[in-house]
A and B are shown apart, each in its own frame.
Chain A
């Protein structure tokens, strides 16, 4: 098993927010918390591009590096998870994360900032797998049920891919070959140099 990864194919994402809805529904995420969201660049301009963003389960995760109470851990599959019993809700992970993945629910009468909540790659948390305690804190543990993240499985255009990094890379590579183009894909220039116009 390689590392679990998300890839969002910007050529396919139609900003339907199905992934956001699937995530919120699957995990009963509280009001005001979005573990996943769709970001659109050049909105309204012909050629606009959308991508679905959540925790990218970084190999060298900045959130893990800055956490003062060391509440993060990584599974064998490379999924970055955290323990809410240890989290103090300080928000350092939020400053460190380049994707804005950590979320802080408001709770109580005065809207106190709660403990950090983020995408778990549908892998639950340190509580017993499939338990009510795990569901209440982290949501459903689909990986332990032999399923992939709900956001990707519900994606209507299959723009959002999730799973073993080798498999999702193969799927995306196959698409690029089918399209007969690649270097002009949005983000390519940023990643690999000036081989394309635009981003």
Chain B
């Protein structure tokens, strides 16, 4: 075996690790924002538009007030 072949084999052996497949994690942070909606109309509360952040945000604020603030709901 010539010196050239030996060097080539050594280099190939040393660089073998560089060919390792990527193992990056893709899951974290890949979540879509809640404002995108589920696309399942039957479970979705009407009154807001999917994708419209202001509409979704205002809808939740109104729902929180109506559903949880009994002082605002009770007659004065």
Contacts and interface: CB of A to CB of B under 8 A. Distances in A.
Interface stretch (A17-25, A34-42, A51-59, A141-149): A141-149
A83 B27 contact: yes
B43 A73 contact: no
A133 interface: no
B38 interface: yes
Nearest to A84: B27
Given A81-B31, A86-B28, A129-B34, A145 B60 contact: no
Given A167-B61, A167-B64, A146 B47 contact: yes
Given A70-B25, A146-B63, A148-B63, A168 B32 contact: no
Determine the interface band of chain B, counting residues with CB < 8 A from chain A: 35 or more
A42 to B, nearest CB: 27
Given A1-B57, A130-B37, 4 more contacts: A83-B27, A126-B28, A130-B39, A163-B68
A145 B64 contact: no
Given A86-B28, A175-B71, A147 B63 contact: yes
B16 interface: no
Contacts of A71: 27-28
16 contacts: A77-B34, A86-B25, A126-B27, A128-B32, A129-B36, A130-B43, A143-B60, A145-B40, A145-B43, A146-B45, A146-B60, A148-B67, A161-B64, A163-B63, A164-B61, A167-B64
B64 A163 contact: yes
Contacts, number: 109
A162 B61 CA distance: 10
Interface in A95-119: none
Given A146-B45, A164-B64, A167-B65, A129 B28 contact: no
A129 B68 contact: no
Given A129-B32, A153-B67, A144 B38 contact: yes
A85 B57 CA distance: 30
Please list the 8 inter-chain residue pairs (A to B) with the smallest Cβ-Cβ separation, ordered nearest first: A130-B38, A163-B64, A146-B45, A143-B34, A83-B27, A126-B31, A1-B57, A130-B40
A158 to B, nearest CB: 5
Contacts of B68: 152-153, 158, 161-163, 168, 171
A139 interface: no
B19 interface: no
